[in-house]
Amino acid sequence: MKHKKLLAGILVFGSLWGFSECIIGSLLHDAGLPAGAIMTAVFAIGLLTISRVWYQQRGIALGMGLVAGALRLFNPFGGCYLCSAIAIMAEGAIFELIWYRLSLDLKELQTLTYQSSIGIISAYVVYVGGYIITQIFTPILSSAGFHLENLLVFLPNMFASGLLAALVGAATVPVLFSVKKLDITIKDRLYYPITIGISIVCWTVVIINTAILLWL
Amino acid sequence: MRMGKAQLIPVFAIIVLLIGCTASLYVHATQANTDLIDINGQQYTIDQLFYLGEPRTIASLNTTGIALDTLITNIGLNCPSCHHYTIIGKDGYQKTVTWENMKNGVLTHQQSVVFSDLPKAFRVKDVIRIEVN
């Protein structure tokens, strides 16, 4: 039962993350805003933190990354969808590694200082790590191949671009911990209809959006 | 006194911010500032390159520019297919591609390079150099 609930949680939070990357991320990208840093620091870190706080289970971030990355592959618009899908999956795995050593009840993160600090670390490492991994794997999967020097010369830019994500992440995690105090609970009989319903809506909207853009 | 896990978290956060700030300063200080494009050691303006190359449209990406392969051929490079090409942007972003990729690439008037056969990660903006390797 507990595992079923966790799987439903991975599905709904992963779908929400993928949905936000496909729809909001594309809009931010088209508007010329730093979509990657904003998406990671607000939506990715936000949803990953909520799920970790709510379910108090390890492994959920890894699963969410796989679900969100898969959904991103269904939307080949707004930036590089292959790069984004790889980056999202990597981000889930990196978040999992960072938070793995924290206790399940997250008692280390009781004060605002610790919450902001883990927000900075998570947003920065997740964003820069995802960026680096996608710059390795996207060329490997293409006909041009991977060239190490292309990655090395651009590392300072990647380290610099993570600063915005880190600063936003410093606010995201404390805000979510304050929401936790509201103690929102869903009745057991409504849990599966709500989680599965939200997931279906996310996937349907992304697939319809893709179909419309292809048709136009 | 041994620092606990919780005490280390703010220390790591400060280190992360310092890395980000230092990298930002470095990137700002080293950013190239030129509108010329260096191809195999020769400098050209974008208008000169548009005169040298042949037009190509990538309909699927709604992009028009000059064909990278004809550009390389017309600047007089021997055996173009024997080389790899590294496209470098003003911000330091660079991508190395094959001659086959160059046959599917264009240089736009906004000095961006776009390839129809490669992911969007291979798009380089504000191109300042094309190295022949």
Pick from B8, B11, B16 the residue to mutate for testing the A interface (most A CBs within 10 Å): B16
Dump pLDDT digits (tens) for A137-185. Answer: 989 988 888 999 999 999 999 999 999 999 999 999 999 988 776 666 7
Q: In terms of domains, do B86 and B64 share one?
A: yes
Q: In terms of domains, do B25 and B46 share one?
A: no
Q: In terms of domains, do B46 and B103 share one?
A: yes
Q: In terms of domains, do B69 and B120 share one?
A: yes
Cα distance between residue A131 and residue A34, in whole Å: 13
Q: Which residue has 């195999």 as its token pair?
A: B40
Statement: residue A74 has pLDDT above 80: no
- pLDDT > 90: percent of chain B: 74
Residue that wins the pLDDT comparison between A83 and B48? B48
Cα distance between residue A70 and residue B70, in whole Å: 38
Pick from B8, B18, B24 the residue to mutate for testing the A interface (most A CBs within 10 Å): B24
- b/e burial code for range A74-100 (CB count within 10 A of at least 16 → b): bbbebbbbbbbbbbbbbbbbbbbebbe
Q: In terms of domains, do B106 and B70 share one?
A: yes
Q: What is the band of B2 on the pLDDT scale with cuts at 50, 70, 90?
A: low
Strand partners, B43: B38
Tell me which chain A residue has its CA closest to the CA of residue B14.
A117
Q: What is the band of A190 on the pLDDT scale with cuts at 50, 70, 90?
A: confident
Kindly state the average pLDDT of the residues A95-119.
88
Least confident piece of the model among A87-91, A154-158, A163-167, B27-31: B27-31
Phi, psi of B114 (to 5 degrees): -130, 135
Domains and CATH numbers, chain A: 2-215 (1.10.1760.20)
Residue that wins the pLDDT comparison between A27 and B46? B46
Query: How close does chain A come to B19, measured CA to CA in Å?
Result: 7
Q: In terms of domains, do B24 and B71 share one?
A: no
Residue-level pLDDT at B121: 87
Task: Please state the domain count of chain B.
Answer: 2
Residue-level pLDDT at A30: 83
Q: Which residues of A touch B97 (CB under 8 A)?
A: 144
Cα distance between residue B51 and residue A199, in whole Å: 53
Cα distance between residue A118 and residue A85, in whole Å: 24
Domain that holds residue B89: 37-132
Dump pLDDT digits (tens) for B69-103. Answer: 999 999 888 899 999 999 999 989 999 999 999 99
Q: In terms of domains, do B20 and B42 share one?
A: no
Q: In terms of domains, do B63 and B85 share one?
A: yes
Q: In terms of domains, do B74 and B20 share one?
A: no
> Nearest-5° angle of CA A208, CA A210, CA A211?
65
Q: Write down the mean pLDDT value for chain B.
A: 91
Residue-level pLDDT at B72: 94
Q: What is the band of B110 on the pLDDT scale with cuts at 50, 70, 90?
A: very high
Cα distance between residue A27 and residue A124, in whole Å: 22
3-state helix, strand, coil in chain B (%, to 5): 40, 30, 30
Cα distance between residue A62 and residue A84, in whole Å: 16
Q: In terms of domains, do B70 and B46 share one?
A: yes
Statement: residue A79 has pLDDT above 80: no
Q: What is the band of A76 on the pLDDT scale with cuts at 50, 70, 90?
A: low
Tell me which chain A residue has its CA closest to the CA of residue B85.
A144
Q: In terms of domains, do B54 and B23 share one?
A: no
Cα distance between residue A197 and residue A154, in whole Å: 42
* B96–A contact, CB cutoff 8 A: yes
* B35–A contact, CB cutoff 8 A: no
Residue-level pLDDT at B60: 82
Residue-level pLDDT at A169: 96
* DSSP per-residue codes, A153-181: HHHHHHHHHHHHHHHHHHHHHHHHHHHHT
Q: Which residues of A touch B84 (CB under 8 A)?
A: 147
Cα distance between residue A94 and residue A106, in whole Å: 18
Q: Cβ contact (<8 Å) for B20 and A154?
A: no
Q: What is the band of A78 on the pLDDT scale with cuts at 50, 70, 90?
A: low
Taking the alpha carbons of A82, A85, A86, A87 in that order, is the dihedral positive or negative? positive
Q: In terms of domains, do B63 and B106 share one?
A: yes
Q: What is the band of B1 on the pLDDT scale with cuts at 50, 70, 90?
A: low
Q: How many CA within 13 A on the CB side of residue B76? A: 2
Question: What's the pTM?
Answer: 0.89
Question: What are the distances in angstroms from CA A95 to CA A99, B14, B49?
Answer: 6, 18, 46
Residue-level pLDDT at A208: 86
* DSSP per-residue codes, A107-166: GGG-SHHHHHHHHHHHHHHHHHHHHHHHHHHHHHTSSS---HHHHHHHHHHHHHHHHHHH
* B32–A contact, CB cutoff 8 A: no
Dump pLDDT digits (tens) for A18-69. Answer: 999 888 887 888 888 888 899 999 999 999 999 998 888 889 999 999 999 9
